[in-house]
Amino acid sequence: MGDNDNPDGYRTWCGDCGRSSPTFATMLESRQWKCPGCGNSKVAEEATAIAAEAGVKHDDGKLQWDLIPWDALEPVVRVLMCGAEKYPSADNWRRVNDHRRRYINACLRHILATTRHAPEYIDHETDEPHLAHAVCCLLFLLAMDGR
């Protein structure tokens, strides 16, 4: 790999003018196949050849699950596990009467615990972050709004 290649092996510079050009992924998304400096179409030819080699996947408009910060969900899952142990069933939350009012209040209690004069970030009952509890409440509300 040369000094002007990116780690994926795609040229990111123009062979004629030497100007840095968009990465291959950016070129594919924008459909701009020419060098922004000199209009060199060799960049277009290379990009087209790479696209043919790499294959095409039409996923425009589909959910981008890779945007979720998965690590941040780990404490949320632990809170759900605590609830599954504490209550009669893992989906007990689905059967709570007056669920909307109660889960909004619970969510706010957990959020407000982190904003007090002497903030408390960890729930003492579960040893998990209050914000993870708040996320659980919001997930319950989202799930039940779909009914």
* Proportion of the chain above pLDDT 70, given as a percent: 63
**Average pLDDT score over residue span 49-77:** 85
Q: What is the pLDDT of residue 57?
A: 79
Residue 27: predicted pLDDT: 57
Q: Which residue has the higher pLDDT, 145 or 44?
A: 145
Burial class (CB in 10 A: 0-12, 13-18, 19+), 133: buried
Quick: pLDDT tens for 61-74: 999 999 999 999 99
123 by Cβ neighbours in 10 Å (0-12 / 13-18 / 19+) ranks as: buried
| H/E segment holding residue 122 | strand 122-123
pLDDT band of residue 8 (cuts 50, 70, 90) is very low
pTM beyond 0.75: the answer is: no
